Every structure is written in C-alpha cells, then in structure tokens.
Structure 1
C-alpha cells in the first residue's frame, strides 16, 4: 500500500481577508483534498470557499469512492449548496473555484477535477507531467488562437472565469477521466491563482528539486510570491501531496484540515 504525505500553506497576501480555503479527509484506504478560492461582495468570498470545501469533504466521507463520476457529483453538489446559500442577504455575487484530488491507496489510483482557475499540477520523476486548464476568459482566448500562453499571467482580464461554483448558467466541470495509476515519487501541487500567477511552472519544478520536504517546497514558492507580487495582491494557497512507498520515511508531517 502506498503512503501519502501532504503539506499546505495559505497567506492573505496583500488583502485584509483570506478568501482561500483548503482541507482534507482520509481513512485507511482513500483520501480527498479540496481547495477553493472564494469571491463575492460584502466579504462573502470566505464564506463561499469554506462552504465548498466543507461540503466536498463531508460528502466524500459519506461515500468515499475514487472516480471521475464521484468528482462530478461532488462539484455539482457543492454548486447546488452554494446556490442555496446565496439566498442570504448580501451574498448574491458569491462564487468560488474548486479543485479536488482523490487517491485510492490500496489500488494506487488517482482522480482529480476542477471548476475555475485553481490548478492541479502533477510532477513525475521530478518533471512537470500534467497541469489542469483554467476555466477562464483568457484561456478561452488562447485556445481560440487569440494569443499565447504568456497572456494567462498578464492579461488585464485574467481573473474573469467562464465557470465557477455558485455562478448562474451551465456549470463547466473538468475531470481526469478514469482513475490513473500512481507511481512512487509522484508529487501534486494544488494552488489558487494568487499562487501560480507569480510562480511559473519551471520555477515550481526547480524548487521541487532543491527542497528537502514538501513544506520546504511550498515555502520556497511562497517566498517568490511575496517577493514579486504587486502591492495589494491576492490571497495565495498551495497544497502539496507526495506519494511514497509505505516503508519509506515520511517527507513531511501531515497537517490537519484547514491548518
């Protein structure tokens, strides 16, 4: 059976309120990590992200199945729950991103999915092997040939989402498909746009090779954000998950949900 280590780091950045939230749930066989970046008027973004993460974790704990279909159910359920919560006065514009990573230890399988622009990266053998594609206006423009990938971090409208939990209209969900096999040494990074906007993929990879553990990796990247971000920059949150053989020593201490 594989062993899983994880660490997380969240920062208010240049804002007065942290509207990012993350957490995890696991038992002896399976594990779930969830990350959300909330937004909305009257400070309701933090309410949105917490509602989404708690809904996902509680729902997964009630039916801990690792599959693409289960991720779709969790994302659609979170969307319905947030739409219900928007009846609260002053929360009409409340919405959130959501990224979910599910691991089956006993079968060495992983599934992931997301809505919005909070990303999931997979590093295998120390190299970037996969990253999710944002549900954003700028990503749509790039896909249509109206610019290159550099726009994703520089365009004035880079924060406009084409799909989000709690938005009206059809919910666009992206999932990884059938559960994929895990390999010892696989490392995942889940992060909000306030994180990846200032930490390019090459830097993520080089920082990973230089780090002694997951927390060190996150700290190195967070330092880059603090050194390069503009005044008043967004909250930023990163969650790192590493796969190892159960007989190997852990790479870091497991953190509690929402720490």
Structure 2
C-alpha cells in the first residue's frame, strides 16, 4: 500500500460567482479526484461543473461496486457519462442550453501503486517527480494547437487573447475529445499530482510549481503557496481558480527536489 495525502482549494477570484467545482471519492484502496471548470453564464457554468462532479463521483462508485477496473477506458466512459448528464440538464429546460464544463479525473490505486486519468478541455493534470515535470496533459484548445504547430511560444501562449477558445468541452452532442493516460502509470514515492483549472495554472509555470513543492511540508501548504502567487498576479476580473493536490508517499520524499539529467516531460 502507498501513503496518499490530498488537499484542495477553490476560490471565486475576481468574478461574481464560482463556476469551478471539485470532488473526491474513496473506496478501499481506490482514490478518485475530479476538478471541473464550467462555462455558460447566469448560473450555467456552476450548474455544468456541479453536474460533472456529481456524475463522476456517482459513476466511480457504480463501477467500483460492480467490481470493474478503474483504468483509463472506464475513466473515459465516466467523462462521457458526465457529458450526457450535462446534455440532459440542457434539454430539461433549466435555461442553460449553452452550458459546458471542462474536467480532469485522476484515480489512484494504492494496492497496485498505479494511477490513471482522463481529461477534456483545458483543466489540467500535472505530475512532478524528483524536481521535474513528469506529466502535463495537453489542452484541447486553439492555443495548444498553435503551440503544437510551433506557431507560438509558451510565454506568448499565456497572454494570447484567444487562450480560452476550446476545441472540446463536456456538454455537447457532437464529437467530443477526451484524452486518457493509456497504460497504468506506475507511482513512485515522492510523486506530486496537481489537478487544476486554467484560472490556477494560467499564471503559474512549471518552475514556480516545482519551487513551491520544495518549500512546503504538505499538500495544503503547497497549494497555499501557489494560491499566494496566483493572487499576487491577479488582474481585475480574474477567473475562478481551483486545484487539488495529491502527494504519494511520505512528505519528505516529495519535497526533496532531485533533478536527474535527461528527465523529460510527457504530454
């Protein structure tokens, strides 16, 4: 069995309402975490993100109760079910026909010491290991496509006026892009996962996230430092920001920042 610690934060930022949502589920050695970022205005966004989180948590319980595995194929099915639930809510006459939500879902299996994840949109999952970025999910966005085509630098991407244009989000009856981790991801003591909305990661590069790990004693302290940095750079009307941190192993195994040569970032 592997030791796991978690912490979460969600703040309204400079907006009038918080359209982000997050949730956590645990059954025996299985831990699931989900973060969602809604859009739609006038209550549509917070409805979409809430429906997403409620559906994900219910589906995790349903699959685990049925004795099925929580590998990436079933995590994709869970997000597809969340998509259907938002579409159902749209059609039920709630007045939010355009509501959408991005989402990222992580499942940890403490017995097999493995992880799997799925995501849609620009809500991200990171995994930091030994002082480097081991995993960063690829956004389903216009800016990400420009980065992939080498038409934009990472620094320019953070300031691009169309950064919020998404190619995929939950709440559509059309083609939906959901990315999954594939093969089970082997955990290592000291891994630090971060699930977060674009209002959180938009003002934080990987170096800042890693630097804060070395200054924190626990996941909550890590998030507190990162929130302080987000607030310091926040502009009027800054987006909501939400994050969940998941640390694997003893805290001192995470905060020792060893940077091996040749480490690479996995998309």
Aligned match of 1:81: 85
Specify the SS of the correspondent of 1:106: coil
Deviates more, 1:15-24 or 1:126-135: 126-135
- Deviations 1:162-210 (Å, cap 9, x if unpaired)? 0000034210011110111111111100000000001111100001111
Distance 1:182 1:97 in 2: 25
Gaps of 5+ in 1: 252-259
Distance 1:66 1:203 in 2: 32
Aligned match of 2:265: none
Count of residues paired in the alignment: 249
Q: Is the 8 A contact 1:138 1:151 kept in 2?
A: no
Normalised to the residue count of structure 1, the TM-score between the two structures is 0.92
Given the alignment, which residue of 160, 185, 192 partners 1:155? 160
Gaps of 5+ in 2: 255-267
Distance 1:138 1:216 in 2: 31
C-alpha RMSD over aligned residues: 1.6
- Are residues 157 and 203 of structure 1, via their aligned partners in 2, closer, same or farther at CA, if it must alter by over 3 Å? same
Q: Is the 8 A contact 1:13 1:232 kept in 2?
A: yes
* Offset of residue 75 of structure 1: 0.9
Specify the SS of the correspondent of 2:247: strand
Specify the SS of the correspondent of 1:150: helix
- Deviations 1:205-254 (Å, cap 9, x if unpaired)? 00111111111110111011111111110000110001116xx89x9xxx
* Offset of residue 151 of structure 1: 3.0
Deviates more, 1:126-135 or 1:187-196: 126-135
Distance 2:249 2:147 in 1: 36
- Does 1:13 pair with 2:13? yes
Moved over 3 A (4+): none
Specify the SS of the correspondent of 1:63: helix
Q: Is the 8 A contact 1:36 1:118 kept in 2?
A: yes
Specify the SS of the correspondent of 2:42: helix
